């Protein structure tokens, strides 16, 4: 990979990072993008909350914070792309493996003060008041949990620039305005141009309003969030800051997600020899004591059971789908009502609809390796990583044409039709760019219709294997995205405010 124009010191600020703590795709991005940046010659650190002692084993204390109840510790391990700085504090201690929700599903009651203090620590590192020997050029903040970091930076005498990445605008971090006083922030921040949002303060607005540059995780989503349908009430602010908004499509770590060398599957394979995938298909179904038939497709689901992801559409479509030669395998947990409904459906159709609601990384890899298709009927999807993992393993996505799904999944029928229109008697196998099938609308009817289109291809195995190989051949790594982030970093540095000079409302007493 060609070296960048110059090496930067970059501090990532996020609530999760694989393999230390993982709830969703954010954790994978916060692991893989630093790795790509390090390989380009940049010096990267990642700041995370320490949710319990399991995260700090082997870490070295860097400094105490405040009156000694909080501290920063550094963790260096071979499986981490760079040093990780862990914010140890009573406000996060005891969360264990539940960083966002208590075991009963409710949000942690001290989220506002916990993540508010987290942002203050990031700004202290940027200003050099917490650590004297490492100052970042860029503070790269991710989602609402890090949204106050650019706000605190605007109140500190720091020369670092800030970049804020939206991974999912639906989660805003909304709290009562009294949190400003609890954190020692000026009440003037409770203003529509800054943090105020329909009577609350929204931490995500700290990043949207105050960061030097804003990015999101696909070009399509960057355009969608400028509209009321996808903007979640922030579309006006985002249109105002549109010249500082960039959509950069996520990549994946293609060394970790590689069917030819994946230690979590038993039968390796690649595009040249798909025999191992057939064996993984058999192994996947044997987990539930089911024997696979060649004429039946295996449709997989890996992800949260939520309305955003279209889990309710899957359930609505299920009676119709199970009239087709299909078996469905679901790995995921989520909204209690949907989780109960999925469990009930699995009990009703035990050999056709198989479910595991526990987090299981090995089973996730097994589904990507063994399924024929992946279901992603999302109502919105900022980027999506599951479809990228699936394509890497020759599992064909069936998705909605939104966000990053529309940017990465190229409809096989649409491409075949376009080629046929351009070239008489064209061979459908010539549609070498195709990677899956796109639903026009997020409805159960469209989902069934799109699965039917996929099944027509599946039952022509010569054509299906050509489609699988096309999906596996897509460039899915971080090489393009990392260069795009470098350009954003340079713009942020060129446009940052002088040290200690933020918006006047932020500095008001």
Q: What string of H, E and C letters represents the secondary structure of 330-344?
A: EECCECHHHHHHHHH
Q: Do 400 and 307 contact (CB within 8 A), yes or no?
A: no
* Cβ atoms < 10 Å from Cβ of 340: 11
- Tell me the backbone φ, ψ of residue 361, rounded to 5 degrees: -65, -35
CA atoms within 13 A on the CB side of 94: 7
Q: Comparing C-alpha atoms, which of 282, 439, 260, 472 is closest to residue 371?
A: 282
- From residue 423, give the alpha-carbon distance in Å to each of 141, 336, 379, 410, 432: 48, 51, 35, 19, 15
Residue tagged 């039946």 (tokens):
296
Q: What is the pLDDT of residue 419?
A: 66
DSSP 8: -
DSSP 324: S
Candidate CATH numbers 3.30.70.80, 3.20.20.110, 3.40.50.2000, 3.30.565.10; the one for domain 275-472: 3.40.50.2000
Helices (H), ranges, 111-202:
111-127, 149-154, 178-183
CATH class label, 9-251+479-507: alpha beta
| CA dihedral over 214, 218, 223, 225, signed as positive or negative | negative
Q: Comparing C-alpha atoms, which of 51, 50, 337, 143 is closest to residue 61?
A: 50
What whole-number distance in Å separates Cα of residue 362 and Cα of residue 150?
A: 37
Q: Do 220 and 384 contact (CB within 8 A), yes or no?
A: no
Is 275-472 the same fold as 9-251+479-507?
yes
- Tell me the backbone φ, ψ of residue 493, rounded to 5 degrees: -65, -40
What whole-number distance in Å separates Cα of residue 247 and Cα of residue 206?
A: 19
One digit per residue, pLDDT tens: the chain, 509 residues? 555 568 999 999 999 999 999 988 899 999 999 999 999 999 999 999 999 989 999 999 999 987 668 999 999 999 999 999 999 999 999 898 889 999 888 899 999 999 999 999 999 999 999 998 999 999 999 999 999 999 999 998 888 999 999 999 999 999 999 999 999 999 999 999 999 999 999 999 999 999 999 999 999 999 999 999 999 999 999 999 999 999 999 999 999 999 999 999 999 999 999 999 999 999 999 999 998 788 999 999 999 999 999 999 999 999 999 999 999 999 998 899 999 999 999 999 999 999 999 888 999 999 999 999 999 999 999 999 999 999 999 999 999 999 999 999 999 999 887 765 555 455 555 557 899 999 999 999 999 999 999 999 999 999 999 999 999 999 999 999 999 999 999 999 998 866 554 544 454 43
The residue extents of the domains of the chain are: 9-251+479-507, 275-472
Q: By 3-state DSSP, what share of the chain in percent is helix, strand and coil, each rounded to 5?
A: 40, 20, 40
Strand, coil or helix: 9: strand
Q: What is the pLDDT of residue 507?
A: 45
Burial class (CB in 10 A: 0-12, 13-18, 19+), 404: buried
């Amino acid at each position: 990979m060609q070296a960048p124009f110059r090496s930067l010191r970059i501090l990532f600020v996020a609530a999760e990072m694989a393999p230390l703590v993982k709830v969703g795709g954010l954790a994978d991005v916060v692991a893989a993008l630093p790795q790509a940046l390090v390989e380009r010659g940049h010096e990267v650190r990642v700041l995370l909350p320490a949710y319990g002692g399991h995260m700090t084993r082997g870490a070295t204390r860097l400094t105490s914070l405040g009156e000694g109840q909080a501290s920063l510790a550094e963790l260096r391990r071979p499986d981490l792309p760079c040093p990780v700085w862990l914010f140890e504090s009573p406000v996060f201690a005891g969360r264990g493996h539940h960083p966002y929700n208590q075991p009963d599903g409710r949000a942690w009651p001290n989220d506002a003060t916990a993540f508010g203090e987290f942002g203050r620590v990031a700004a202290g590192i940027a200003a050099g008041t917490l650590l004297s020997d490492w100052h970042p050029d860029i503070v790269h903040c991710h989602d609402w949990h890090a949204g106050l970091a650019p706000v605190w930076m605007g109140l500190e005498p720091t020369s670092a620039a800030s970049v804020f990445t939206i991974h999912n605008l639906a989660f805003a971090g909304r709290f009562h305005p009294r949190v400003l006083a609890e954190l020692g922030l000026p009440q003037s921040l409770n203003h529509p141009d800054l943090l105020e949002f329909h009577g609350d303060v929204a931490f995500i607005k700290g990043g949207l309003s105050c960061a030097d540059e804003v990015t999101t995780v696909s070009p399509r989503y960057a355009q969608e969030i400028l509209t009321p349908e996808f903007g979640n009430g922030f579309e006006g602010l985002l249109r105002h800051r549109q010249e500082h908004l960039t959509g950069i499509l996520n990549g994946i770590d293609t060394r970790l997600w590689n069917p030819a060398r994946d230690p979590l599957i038993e039968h390796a394979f690649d595009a040249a020899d798909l025999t191992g995938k057939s064996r993984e298909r058999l192994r996947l179904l044997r987990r539930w004591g089911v024997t696979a038939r060649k004429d039946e497709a295996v449709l997989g689901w890996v992800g949260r059971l939520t309305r955003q992801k279209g889990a309710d559409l899957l359930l609505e479509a299920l009676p119709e789908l199970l009239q087709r030669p299909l078996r469905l395998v679901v790995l995921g947990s989520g909204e209690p009502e949907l989780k109960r409904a999925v469990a009930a459906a699995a009990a009703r159709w035990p050999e056709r609809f198989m479910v595991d609601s526990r987090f299981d990384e090995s089973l996730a890899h097994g589904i990507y390796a063994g399924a024929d298709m992946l279901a992603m009927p999302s109502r919105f999807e900022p980027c999506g990583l599951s479809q990228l993992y699936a394509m890497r393993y020759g599992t064909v996505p069936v998705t909605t044409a939104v966000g990053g799904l529309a940017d990465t999944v190229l409809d096989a029928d649409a491409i075949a039709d376009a080629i046929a229109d351009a070239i008489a008697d064209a061979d459908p196998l010539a549609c070498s760019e195709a990677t899956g099938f796109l639903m026009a609308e997020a409805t159960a009817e469209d989902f069934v219709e799109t699965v039917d289109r996929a099944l027509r291809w599946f039952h022509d195995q010569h054509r299906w294997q050509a489609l699988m190989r096309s999906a596996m051949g897509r460039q899915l790594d971080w090489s393009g995205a990392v260069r795009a982030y470098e350009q954003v970093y340079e713009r942020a540095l060129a446009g940052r405010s002088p040290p200690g000079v933020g918006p006047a409302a932020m500095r008001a007493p």
